[in-house]
């Protein structure tokens, strides 16, 4: 979603990826093969001034010095609201992820300050779009395959799914907006709805009538234990189940005020 918006705005664009073929595509985007991990050299990119980082946040701070030497003076990067929602998880792995995100945020601010770069950090909520995400697309796969979705009743935890194209629009809006410099923003979607209502909307988008199976916590443990023995079963963890009744809601007021952030309502 971001590359077409950048080109429509007239920006010349380099796009870096680990598994891409080098060359200029039909839209005028110059693709470069690059590996951020391991300290391997970055490709030469003439006239580089701004970096939008869409890869995992912790890959960026060690590379800030190299990008600064190439001429970058402006950075927009993506973290996640998981930094907050998973910090008290019962899962050690999820706690580690939250800590890693928090550490990467601090490291990014420090590295940018050291090398005189201005930065903006975006923390999206539950991201969806194009059927390639691990959130709404996962629910849709379960709905299509099984025609039913398991819930931890009453599944009233509130969610704010955000479309990836709205995040791309946020990048464009922030690029030349001085108010966003050296600031972090939570970026929720434009609608707040319960987990159950969110899944009902996915059923509707798939052309299916909503059908749920509600299980108490003890039954969930037994069911997940059984599912773990089935290689083709959907991957559902106890933490995901518990969060169905936990609010995960963030304020978009700062983003609205500073760069006119206006995400769409949930449209799976």
- 97: three-class secondary structure by DSSP: helix
Residue 196 reports pLDDT greater than 60: yes
What pLDDT is recorded for position 225?
A: 60
pLDDT digits (tens, 9 = 90+) for 61-75: 999 999 999 999 999
- Sheet of strand 50-53, all strands in order from the earlier edge strand to the far edge: 50-53, 74-78, 118-124, 183-187
Q: Do residues 121 and 186 touch, judged by C-beta distance below 8 A?
A: no
Cα dist from 138 to 98, 107, 164, 175, 234, whole Å:
21, 32, 16, 32, 8
pLDDT digits (tens, 9 = 90+) for 139-164: 999 899 999 998 888 899 999 999 99
CA dist., res. 177 & res. 6, Å (int): 15
Per-chain mean pLDDT for the chain: 91
Alpha-carbon torsion angle 85, 87, 89, 92, nearest 10: 140
Greater pLDDT, 220 or 188:
188
Residue 25's pLDDT band, with cuts at 50, 70 and 90, is very high
CA dist., res. 256 & res. 4, Å (int): 23
pTM of full prediction above 0.85: yes
Q: Do residues 183 and 120 touch, judged by C-beta distance below 8 A?
A: yes
Q: What DSSP line would sit under 148-213, residue for residue? A: -EEE-TT---EE--EEHHHHHHHHHHHHT-GGGTTEEEEE--S--EEHHHHHHHHHHHTT----EE
């Amino acid at each position: 979603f971001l590359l077409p918006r950048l080109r429509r705005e007239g920006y010349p664009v380099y796009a870096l990826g680990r598994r891409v073929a080098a060359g200029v595509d039909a839209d005028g985007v110059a693709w470069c093969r690059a590996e951020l991990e391991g300290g391997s050299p970055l490709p030469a990119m003439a006239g580089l001034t701004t970096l939008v980082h869409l890869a995992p946040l912790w890959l960026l701070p060690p590379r800030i010095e190299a990008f600064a030497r190439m001429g970058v003076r402006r950075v927009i990067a993506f973290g996640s609201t998981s930094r907050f929602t998973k910090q008290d998880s019962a899962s050690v792995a999820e706690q580690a992820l939250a800590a890693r995100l928090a550490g990467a945020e601090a490291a990014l601010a420090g590295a940018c300050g050291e090398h005189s770069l201005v930065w903006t950090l975006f923390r999206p909520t539950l991201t969806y779009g194009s059927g390639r995400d691990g959130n709404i697309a996962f629910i849709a796969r379960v709905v299509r395959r099984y025609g039913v979705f398991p819930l931890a009743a009453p599944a009233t935890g509130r969610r704010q799914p955000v479309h990836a194209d709205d995040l791309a629009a946020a990048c464009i809006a922030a690029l030349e907006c001085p108010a966003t410099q050296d600031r972090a923003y939570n970026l929720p979607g434009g609608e707040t709805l319960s987990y159950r209502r969110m899944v009902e909307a996915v059923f509707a988008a798939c052309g299916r009538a909503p059908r749920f199976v509600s299980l108490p916590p003890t039954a969930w443990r037994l069911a997940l234990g059984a599912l773990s023995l089935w290689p083709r079963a959907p991957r559902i963890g106890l933490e995901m189940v518990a969060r169905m009744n936990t609010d995960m809601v963030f304020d978009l007021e700062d983003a609205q005020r500073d760069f006119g952030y206006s995400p769409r309502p949930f449209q799976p």
